Amino acid sequence: MQVIVRQIEGVAFVAKGESNHWVTIDGPKDFNGSEAASRPMELLLMAFGGCTGSDVASILNKKRVPLDHLDVIVTGEQAEEHPKVYTSIHIEYIFYGNDLKVHDLERAIALSQDKYCPVTAMLKGNCELSHSYRVAQ
């Protein structure tokens, strides 16, 4: 896989990968940014949530689980000193639907976290990962 990241000005960039969609990236004003787009570390959390969320939704769909929709909240704690890497990341899955079975939800999460999600695999061993879930009405 290959992506291109092109500077617009300062620390504002656009990036495009094999999916052929542009994503904007920017930084804070005190770092020569214009605060017009997501920051790289935010995008990392978004990628993590999108990766595991798509796994879980796909697994539940294949099992014919009646999921109305899914929210994934990703919270990262960063080191105080540079490089300000994530020291811990927590993912909360919020499931919406009727007649959802705990076993199906837990199995889908486990398969994503332990087998399918490449972002999880990249982050394991580099920071503390945790997750939780709940069913909302």
Element containing residue 113 per DSSP (H, E): none
- Parse the chain into domains and list their residue ranges: 1-38, 40-136
Check residue 115 and report its DSSP letter.
I
CA dihedral (114, 116, 122, 123) positive or negative: negative
Q: What DSSP string describes 29-76?
A: GGGT--S-SB-HHHHHHHHHHHHHHHHHHHHHHHTT--EEEEEEEEEE
Query: Options 3.40.1830.10, 3.30.70.270, 3.30.300.20, 3.40.50.300; which CATH number does 40-136 get?
Result: 3.30.300.20
User: How far from each other are the two terminal CA atoms of the chain, in whole angstroms?
Assistant: 39
pLDDT (tens place) for every residue of the chain, 137 residues total? 999 999 999 999 999 999 999 999 999 999 999 999 999 999 999 999 999 999 999 999 999 999 999 999 999 999 999 999 999 999 999 999 999 999 999 999 999 999 999 999 999 999 999 999 999 97
Report pTM: 0.93
CATH code 1.20.950 for 1-38: no
